[in-house]
Amino acid sequence: MAGELVKLLSELKEQEALNFVEKALAEGVDPMELLGDARDGMNIVGQKFATEEYFIPDLVFSGEVLKGIVKILEPHLKKDEKTERLGKVVIGTAAGDIHDIGKDLVVFMLDVNGFEVHDLGIDVPAQKFVDTIKETGSKVVGLSGFLTLAFQSMKDTVDAITEAGLRDDLKIMIGGGQIDEQVRSYTGADAYGKDAMEAVKLAKGWIGGR
Amino acid sequence: MPPGQTSDVPRGGNGECTQAEAQRGEIVLVIVGERINTSRKRVNEAVEKREAAYIQEDVKSQLEAGADLIDINAGSRLNSEVDDLAWLIDIVQSTVPEVRLCIDSPNPGSIRSVLHVVERPPMLNSTTAEKDRFEAMSEIIQSTDCDIVALCIDDKGIPKNAEQALDTAARLVSDLESLGVKRERIYIDPVIQAVSTNTNAALIALEAIEGIRRKLPGANVICGLSNVSFGLPKRHLVNRAFLALAMRAGLSAAIVDPLDKKLMGTLRATTLLLGQDRWCQDYIRAFRKGWLEA
């Protein structure tokens, strides 16, 4: 029975996955084990997305299935089990830009992989990043942007973080359709990622080795 | 007279808006050719090396294939956008003096800086209903004779449904009109979202297009086609199907790659099916020229 949920979720079999969780709980399977399986299933979805076997709608759909699974599991989880997290990441779409698809995917994959994600939304002013880093003590920041004008905002945000004296033990990653090494170097970020899986890899490398 | 309106002036490349059509008050889809954009690798290289011939040939082929306006976008060139835009505008105008340009930049300042080199009334792409952006663009719009693309985005962001889009569109039209812009020079972009993250995104867009045409008569609706398919395989297929639906919903202008024969084929076939191609003459002419690809 172990691994069955991994397979069902990674193959996007919504109803079967939900039914399986109900049944497994009734049979006394540890809900934490099921949650772990769900997470592994989501990772496979993420990998299949990275290799272009799956597409964005698949990813979003898998998130919905996961939500359904968590909803069933939630009443059975102890409080500390629910809140156990790898580390904190602050993320948002840079000022002037309103694109959210890529950012939402990154938020989603980080969340699924166990990070506590503070999603500031779109068109986020530099100061808002600075304030949230201070409040949360996050060590990783993700800046997203699709428009070319977001590159300037990303640079401004990195500069603002530096000026606030927060840059030293903080890692900043950027991402977006047109981001490349040239943009990374322009903005002063530490790294850029091509997709949501790379964002997870970067964050894990920095704060969440597991 | 702006494109997209009834006119007896021949349209560039893909045939004429006939006298009969003009009399019936038909509206033909305005094609804005999107290829001169520095986010495309080859164009960026040509701009970098100042290869005028490459750009000029590309523009000529876009016009030949049916573009009514040529979009010029150098927004990806952070440090040299204004110089690059000015250079692009100059070399395009020098090779095709009658060309109409669509000056495309998210930075109002960049648009303002290059306006003096634009010879014919351009389309400006774009303003939004965001307070700062609208104010910055207002000055420019009032200082020149132009068509204006207005995105349905306000300080609250992108509309979540057709009603919100319609609200923003109505505000944009009324604010632009109070600046003295004639309604037929306004091109509302309802900002089409990807179906990959919202299954109803295309339906919302179609509803918005219909609503704008019905409730704001005289205003044009423009959109790009590629957003809708973001994140899907074989995106072009989705783009083409959407184009046909959007045309039926009342789209008046589209920002497209005129050299995409399949897309342009769908466009011509749809025009024909909507009864806007008298005796299928434009469609047949395009076939003879080898422009149609099924």
CA distance B101 to B98: 10
**pLDDT greater than 60 at residue B9:** no
pLDDT of B141-167, one tens digit each?
A: 999 999 999 999 998 888 999 999 999
**pLDDT greater than 70 at residue B62:** yes
CATH number at residue A33: 1.10.1240.10
Please give the residue of chain B at the shortest CA–CA distance from A63. Answer: B197
Task: Specify the higher pLDDT residue, A56 or B60.
Answer: B60
CA distance B112 to B36: 19
Task: Specify whether A9 is located in the same domain as A67.
Answer: yes
**pLDDT greater than 80 at residue B12:** no
Q: Domain-by-domain residue ranges, chain B? A: 22-287
Distance of residue A154 Cα from the nearest chain B Cα, in angstroms:
13
Q: Do B78 and A147 touch (CB under 8 A)?
A: no
Backbone phi, psi, residue A28, to 5°: 90, 15
B14 confidence band (pLDDT: 50, 70, 90): very low
Backbone phi, psi, residue A148, to 5°: -65, -30
Task: Specify whether A112 is located in the same domain as A47.
Answer: no
> Looking at residue B228, what DSSP letter applies?
G
CA distance A99 to A57: 17
Task: Determine the pLDDT at residue B109.
Answer: 95
Task: Determine the pLDDT at residue A1.
Answer: 59
Task: Specify whether A193 is located in the same domain as A122.
Answer: yes
Task: Specify whether A77 is located in the same domain as A139.
Answer: no
3-class secondary structure for chain A? CCCHHHHHHHCCCHHHHHHHHHHHHHCCCCHHHHHHHHHHHHHHHHHHHHCCCCCHHHHHHHHHHHHHHHHHHHHHCCHHHHHCCCCEEEEEEECCCCCCHHHHHHHHHHHHCCCEEEECCCCECHHHHHHHHHHHCCCEEEEECCCCHHHHHHHHHHHHHHHCCCCCCCEEEEECCCCCHHHHHHHCCCEEECCHHHHHHHHHHHHCCC
| pTM of structure | 0.79
Chain B residues with CB-CB distance to A60 below 8 A: 196-197
Please give the residue of chain B at the shortest CA–CA distance from A122. Answer: B157
Task: Determine the pLDDT at residue A149.
Answer: 83
Task: Determine the pLDDT at residue A81.
Answer: 62
Over range A17-40, report the average pLDDT.
Answer: 93
Task: Specify whether A72 is located in the same domain as A176.
Answer: no
Q: Over pLDDT 70: what percentage of chain A?
A: 95
CATH number at residue A181: 3.40.50.280
Chain B residues with CB-CB distance to A123 below 8 A: 157
**pLDDT greater than 70 at residue B197:** yes
To test the contact with chain A by mutation, choose from B41, B76, B164 the residue with the greatest count of A C-beta atoms within 10 A, namely: B76
**pLDDT greater than 70 at residue A209:** no
Q: How many residues does chain B have?
A: 294
Which residue is listed with tokens 């033909």? B28
- Of A82, A111, A136, at which residue does a domain stop? A82
CATH number for the B22-287 domain, one of 3.20.20.20, 2.40.30.20, 3.40.50.1460, 3.40.50.1100? Answer: 3.20.20.20
**pLDDT greater than 60 at residue B16:** no
Task: Determine the pLDDT at residue B21.
Answer: 39
A46 confidence band (pLDDT: 50, 70, 90): confident
Chain B residues with CB-CB distance to A196 below 8 A: none
To test the contact with chain B by mutation, choose from A97, A99, A101 the residue with the greatest count of B C-beta atoms within 10 A, namely: A101
β-bridge partners, B204 = none
Task: Specify whether A55 is located in the same domain as A96.
Answer: no
In 3D, which of A109, A94, A113 has the Cα closest to residue A186?
Answer: A94
Q: Is A38 within 8 Å of A8 (Cβ atoms)?
A: no
Over range B68-80, report the average pLDDT.
Answer: 93
**pLDDT greater than 90 at residue A148:** no
- Of A28, A60, A82, at which residue does a domain stop? A82
Task: Specify whether A183 is located in the same domain as A95.
Answer: yes
Of the candidates A56, A148, A149, the beta carbon closest to that of B196 is on A56
Task: Specify whether A20 is located in the same domain as A107.
Answer: no
**pLDDT greater than 70 at residue A22:** yes
Please give the residue of chain B at the shortest CA–CA distance from A152. Answer: B78
- Of A16, A47, A82, at which residue does a domain stop? A82
User: Over chain A, what is the mean pLDDT?
Assistant: 90
Q: Is the peptide bond before B126 cis (omega within 30 degrees of 0)?
A: yes
Distance of residue B9 Cα from the nearest chain A Cα, in angstroms:
36
pLDDT of A111-146, one tens digit each?
A: 888 899 999 998 999 999 999 999 999 999 999 998
Backbone phi, psi, residue B39, to 5°: -80, -10
Task: Determine the pLDDT at residue A82.
Answer: 58
Task: Determine the pLDDT at residue B279.
Answer: 92
| Structural domain range at position A166 | 85-207
Longest dimension (CA), chain A: 56
**pLDDT greater than 70 at residue B25:** no
B19 confidence band (pLDDT: 50, 70, 90): very low
Over range B5-27, report the average pLDDT.
Answer: 39
Domain count for chain A: 2
Of the candidates A60, A123, A151, the beta carbon closest to that of B78 is on A151
Task: Specify whether A98 is located in the same domain as A188.
Answer: yes
A178 confidence band (pLDDT: 50, 70, 90): confident
Task: Determine the pLDDT at residue A80.
Answer: 63
Task: Specify whether A132 is located in the same domain as A46.
Answer: no
Task: Determine the pLDDT at residue B18.
Answer: 40
Of the candidates A57, A101, A149, the beta carbon closest to that of B107 is on A149
SS3 B294: coil
**pLDDT greater than 80 at residue A37:** yes
Of the candidates B78, B195, B199, the beta carbon closest to that of A152 is on B78
pLDDT of A58-97, one tens digit each?
A: 988 998 899 899 889 988 887 666 556 789 999 999 998 8
Task: Specify the higher pLDDT residue, B11 or A28.
Answer: A28
Which range, A107-116, A154-163, B284-293, has the best average confidence (pLDDT)?
Answer: A154-163
Task: Determine the pLDDT at residue B15.
Answer: 39
Count residue pairs from A and B with Cβ separation < 8 A: 47
Task: Determine the pLDDT at residue A105.
Answer: 85
Distance of residue A168 Cα from the nearest chain B Cα, in angstroms:
27
